[in-house]
Structure 1
Amino acid sequence: MPGFSLWRIAVPAFGPTVLNAVGQGAVLPVVALSALQLGASVGFAAFLVGVLGIGQFAGSLPAGALVVRIGERRALLVAAVVSAVAWCAAMVVRTPWLLGLSLLVAGLAGAVFSLARQSYVTEVVPVELRARALSTLGGVNRIGLFVGPFLGALAGHYWGMPGAYAVGVAGSIGAIVVLVTAGEPQGAHEPLQVERLSLKQVLWAHRRTFLTLGTGVFVIAVARAARTSLIPLWGEHLGLSATDTSIVFGITNGIEMLLFYPAGLIMDRLGRVWIAVPATVLLGIGMLTLPLSTAFTSILAVGVLMAVGNGLGSGIVKTLGADAAPPGHRAQFLAGWTFCAEFGSVIGPVLIGAITLVFPLAAASLTLGALTLTGSTWLAKWVPTFDPRRATKGISGQISTGTPCRAPAPGDNS
């Protein structure tokens, strides 16, 4: 689209995302403490920390069906309202189980919010700016998650534990206000007259994409989730204090937030593979070298290495999904795409736990590092096939020509 600027969609696209993320970031650090105050065991409190992610995973496919049925804008409003109600409930519940239910509902709403926002940005932004737009979407989400805990701590200082949940409510309400008042700019593409297909039909029609490129995205998600678990666990193994571990995360999070726009620029200018492969290689090398770290300085160095990889990969999952998504059926396709990524996020910590039941933590780090490096070679093979800058006919024909997917004919296994 001639003359298109990302500033044109900054408020309606990125504003609700950062506000929603601020609210979520404020709540996450106090979930375990809230559960303990309500009488939960340490194990159940730890489980509740992951319930939000479980909700996002469970809601990824239904979110696609909802967005198709009611539209992106309405889906965003519904998700923001449900999130506000869920945080209100979490603030006043009196049992750990009800707290868990509130977090599950918030996770389901988060899945809808994320999918609808990604689908909208993919639709309105021209392909030559797509990676920068989606990297920025991921970047502002990270900024919100980074700022949220500080605002939650400030509110908690004055109003106790409910203060953090109040920030969550305020973030959701702020997102609603922006969605209602900012409006939506006209899309970059004319609406397509396409056959309406069910979620199942779209996923089946694009099963080869999910088995090839989707597998690479799954590995990226596994590596990212494993990283956030391995660093604190290895720090505890070395005897680092909680303060030292927090410093490592603070520094690495700061590095990641500086890299999201350059990463998008590289993807738009040079191609997706120039980010997908280096990002996974750096994450893999970081996990392979983590067992060599023996003190705060060395674990910080490994953390910075992985942060560069993770920061460069900001937006890569969303961008690859947008590239492969068929026009006219984006929401259904992106629901399956999100499912691949969320499944990887769930599997990463599970793999670490399963390996450490039998082997030491170093073995888990080495195994995940080797898996990630293997995934980088897989991405090197398949990412160029789906890159809109280099796409050719064949498996990526629907991407390069803009042809919407069709319902598979009986017996069609192509």
Structure 2
Amino acid sequence: MTNAAPEFRWRSIALPALLPTLLFSTGEGAILPIIPVVATDLGATLAVAGLIAAMVMIGELVGDVPSGWIVARVGERVAMLGASSLALLGLVLSVFAPNPFLLGLGIFFAGLATAVFALARHAFMTSFVPIAYRARALSTLGGTFRLGYLVGPFLSAAVIHITGDTKAAFWIFVVGCLGAAITLLLLPDPETTFGAARLSRAQTNTGGTATVAPTEARMGLFSTLAARRDVLLRLGVGSAIVAALRASRQVILPLWAVSIGLADTQTALIIGIASIVDFGLFYAGGQIMDRFGRLWTALPSMIGLGVGHIGLALTSGLPGREGWFIVLAVFLSLANGIGAGMLMTMGADLAPRRDPAPFLGAWRFTNDAGAAAAPVAVAGLTALISLPFAAATLGVLGLVGAGVLLRYVPRFASGRTT
């Protein structure tokens, strides 16, 4: 039995494809927990500190607007080098910021850089990895990001403990950006290495010559949104709900721990263990998607996230709330972990083979819009009614999202090899 794609050698591109991502995401993971602390030290109120922390997500959402166009014009490697440089600018500004405003601006630049960096690597995987391996490759990419976000806070804690300076965590991200840029420059460029393979596949699919349509390469975010509105108004809504439930989980769990009186160390330990469970499942999800189809992880993940949120609300008044919190934190991580790489894989399935970046930019924009809206919804519902009501509302939304995915994933993104 021959391989599905004899020209594809995963081991030969794993290091240059994933190492820059790991370095960049580890640096970003190192600064995320300390942004509100630094903002408060600079005189920000609690509300302003929360807004500054949200600038990462806001920057990513804004960065989705030009990212597809940038990657289509300059290529994945150059785009990631540019993103690393922009992140460095934001980090230097953050380190030396004398006030919360400049700190927020620096964090915003880091968010912009993250959008371009992530889109570039997503576009590479979409273009060069054969569909038979696509879900495993993109789940591994998602797992690489999660590993960075898992390791980063521990590095941050160690560096702050040694130096006694909270801002020292920013230098971890500086090192991560420099390391990513160096690996991009020194290691073989996988885009160049497998360029002939992509051209060959495109020629096979088009029956001869394969060229990227100039108008396709020049399409910006809003043109792509209009051109692909049929997919984005259907499956895109489902993916946005997935992103919203994932983002709300990261907000609700710490808030829930505070509401039931857990100590900071206990909260960190429980969420840390849950994060390890989350990370440990990334490759299993990719295997399932490649073997059985995208819906086999999309649906269980979405139902699990919805049920987990509802479970939090239902246990709010029960005795032994601490135990229920541990169980549900791990359950939510299981549901989230089995869906690692799910959104990237579905986006890759839907993107044009010859020039995926513009569509992937639009796809990531819809997802990031959901992710950005979720914390605002949690905060608003908690302020207006209660935290259990916010959890229940997001849980019901998750079950609605499961229905949307059940309806449209088989139609738009079956994951079948053609």
TM-score normalized with structure 2 length: 0.90
Structural mapping, 1:381-400, within 5 Å: 381-387=407-413, 389-390=415-416
Corresponding residue number in structure 2 for 1:186: 194
The equivalent of 1:105 in structure 2 is: 109
CA contact (8 A) 2:30 2:172 kept: yes
Greater displacement, 238-247 / 304-313:
238-247
Structure 1: gaps (5+ residues):
392-399, 401-414
CA distance, structure 2, for counterparts of residue 5 and residue 180 of structure 1: 21
CA contact (8 A) 2:127 2:354 kept: no
Structure 2 residue matching 1:61: 3-state secondary structure:
helix
User: Following TM superposition, where does structure 1 have runs of at least 4 consecutive aligned residues deviating by more than 6 angstroms?
Assistant: none
Shift of 1:313: 0.9
Q: Residue type matched to 1:94 in 2? A: P
Q: CA deviation at 1:389?
A: 4.1
1:351 corresponds in structure 2 to 377
Matched, 1:165 2:203: no
Q: Residue in 2 aligned with 1:246?
A: 268
Equivalent in 300, 316, 327 of residue 342 of structure 2: 316
2:157 to 149, 153, 156: 153
Equivalent of 1:272, from 294, 303, 320? 294
- In the alignment, the residues of structure 2 paired with residue 14 and residue 335 of structure 1 have an alpha-carbon distance, to the nearest angstrom, of 20
Q: Deviations over 1:32-66 (max 9, x none)?
A: 12112222222211211111111001111211121
| Cα distance between partner residues in 1 of 2:128 and 2:305 | 32
The 1-side partners of 2:168 and 2:155 are apart by 9
Checking the alignment, whether the CA contact within 8 Å between 1:203 and 1:332 is kept in structure 2 is no
1:26 is aligned with what amino acid? A
Q: 1:85 offset after TM fit, Å? A: 2.3
Quick one: distance in 1 between partners of 2:271 and 2:299? 23
**Does residue 329 of the first structure (1) align with residue 355 of the second (2)?**
yes
Aligned-residue offset at 1:271:
0.4
Answer yes or no: is 1:362 the counterpart of 2:388.
yes
Q: In the alignment, does 2:243 pair up with 1:221?
A: yes
State the alpha-carbon separation in 2 of the partners of residues 212 and 101 from structure 1: 34
Q: Give distance in 2, aligned partners of 1:345 and 1:262.
A: 24
Shift, 1:112, TM fit: 0.4
The answer to whether the 8 Å contact 1:25/1:145 transfers is yes
How far residue 3 of structure 1 moved from its aligned partner, in angstroms, is: 5.7
1:132 aligned onto 2:130: no
Name the % identity. 38
Q: Shift of the alpha carbon at 1:349?
A: 1.4
Question: Helix, strand or coil for the counterpart of 1:75?
Answer: helix
Deviations 1:295-320 (A, max 9, x none): 22111101111111100111001000
Q: In the alignment, which residue of structure 2 is the partner of 1:10?
A: 14
Letter in 2 for 1:265: Q
Q: CA deviation at 1:202?
A: 3.0
**Residue among 234, 255, 263 paired with 1:233:** 255
Q: How many residues align?
A: 392
> 1: CA distance between counterparts of 2:396 and 2:369?
19
Query: How far, CA to CA, are the matches of 2:42 and 2:413 in structure 1?
Result: 50
TM-score, with normalisation over the residues of structure 1?
0.91
Measure, in 2, the Cα distance between the counterparts of 1:328 and 1:232.
43
1:361–1:167 Cα change, 3 Å:
same
Identify the residue that residue 284 of structure 2 maps to in structure 1. 262
1:252-289 Cα shifts (integer Å, max 9, x gaps): 10001110001001000010000000000110110111
Distance 2:314 2:269 in 1: 20
Q: Which amino acid aligns with 1:305?
A: F
Give the stretch that moved more between structures: 155-164 or 145-154. 155-164
The answer as to whether partners of 1:137 and 1:315 remain within 8 angstroms in 2 is yes
Give 2:156's aligned amino acid: G
State whether residues 60 and 336 of structure 1, in contact with CA within 8 Å, keep that contact through their aligned partners in structure 2: yes
- Distance in 2 of aligned mates of 1:321 and 1:122: 9
Q: Aligned to 1:59, what secondary structure does the other structure show?
A: helix
CA distance in 1, matches of 2:281, 2:9: 20
Task: Tell me if 1:41 matches 2:50.
Answer: no
Summarize deviations over 1:82-127 as a string: whole Å, max 9, x none: 1122212211221111111100011101110000110011111000
- The question of whether the paired residues in 1 share the 8 Å contact of 2:288 and 2:297 is answered with yes
Tell me which residue corresponds to 1:174: 179
Instruction: Kindly provide the amino acid, as one letter, of the partner of residue 357 in structure 2.
Output: A
Query: Paired residue for 1:375?
Result: 401
Q: CA deviation at 1:354?
A: 2.5
- From 20, 23, 29, the counterpart of 2:27: 23
Report the AA paired with residue 178 of structure 2. I
Give the SS at the match of 2:234.
Answer: helix
1:45-124 matches, within 5 Å, as 45-124=49-128
The CA distance in 2 between the partners of 1:323 and 1:373, in whole Å, is 23
Aligned partner letter, 2:14: A
Deviation at 1:353, TM superposition (A): 2.2
